[in-house]
Amino acid sequence: MSSIGFEKCVSEHGVYVQCYKKNEKADMVIVCLYVDDLLITGSSVQKIVDFKLQMLQEFEISDLGQLSYFLGIEFTKTDEGILMHQSRYALDMLTKFNMLHCNPANTPTEMGVKLEKDLEEEVVDPTKYRRMVGSLRYLCNTRPDISYSVGLVSRFMQNPRISHLNAIKRILRYLKGTTKYGILLPKSGSGGDVRVTAYSYSDWCGDKGDRKSIAGYVFFLDGAPISWSSTKEPVVALSSCEAEYIAACEATCEVAWLD
């Protein structure tokens, strides 16, 4: 890629960018590379066509047309913009774990639920439990609404119990009624300034086992979520103020990375 004028993105090594400037107009082509799959976009249709011709001269490739499916993520054009979702993946996951015909739930977790390592509870199959958690974690790519819940059940993969499995089934029941949910990437405006909005939050001593707090943040680009996280803080906060400060610091680090 570098031999034909592309520069590798510093923060995302699978992304390459090529910039052009002609008659005071700046254009760019962005290529996302994953093994043998290419996702191509840019500000000039002609430059994209030229890049495809360059690739055809070097490799045997298939042009699948406009973006509709990439790495298990679907893209649907609407009047408001592009909806990025994993409806097919979610349905396949429900079928795989025999939850396709379950009753849907309104929320991914019950209100105020606190999961703990209770050695008195019934043990469940750890291999199946890990498969379920792994499948849910990939779904978080387009579902920030389940990030906290998936992070919660991810803590017990070493020695899962029946209450932890029930929490996973609750998430699957929530997915049953929300398979079409995703992220709407709205159409760009008139070329004005891009607005980035961020929120951070922390619950003090959210984990009753080690007394660590849960920090979370979400970033919006013109109203569309582009980055989010819900993780346990690395240290034990001595006050709710300190827990919020740590969460704000983590969000600030994400700002620096996005910038």
pLDDT band at 14 (very low <50, low <70, confident <90, very high): confident
Per-residue pLDDT, 8: 87
Last-in-domain residue among 147, 176, 205 = 176
Per-residue pLDDT, 54: 85
Per-residue pLDDT, 166: 94
Start-to-end CA distance of the chain, whole Å, equals 24
Asked, for residue 143, whether it belongs to a domain, the answer is yes
Do 57 and 87 share a structural domain?
no
| Percent of the chain with pLDDT strictly greater than 70 | 97
Do 197 and 169 share a structural domain?
no
Last-in-domain residue among 12, 36, 65 = 65
Do 90 and 27 share a structural domain?
no
Q: How many domains does the chain divide into?
A: 3
Asked, for residue 61, whether it belongs to a domain, the answer is yes
Do 92 and 167 share a structural domain?
yes
Which residue has tokens 């819940």?
149
| In contact, 75 and 68? CB cutoff 8 Å | yes
Per-residue pLDDT, 244: 94
pLDDT band at 136 (very low <50, low <70, confident <90, very high): very high
Asked, for residue 144, whether it belongs to a domain, the answer is yes
pTM of the model: 0.83
Per-residue pLDDT, 170: 96
The 10s digit of each residue's pLDDT in 68-93 is 888 889 999 888 889 999 999 999 99
Do 48 and 16 share a structural domain?
yes
Residue 11 has pLDDT above 60, yes or no: yes
Asked, for residue 185, whether it belongs to a domain, the answer is no
Distances (CA, A) of 167 to 107, 151, 153: 11, 11, 7
Do 139 and 105 share a structural domain?
yes
pLDDT band at 190 (very low <50, low <70, confident <90, very high): low
Mean pLDDT of the chain: 88
Per-residue pLDDT, 189: 58
Q: Residue 95's domain spans which residues?
A: 83-176
| Percent of the chain with pLDDT strictly greater than 90 | 48
Last-in-domain residue among 176, 203, 233 = 176
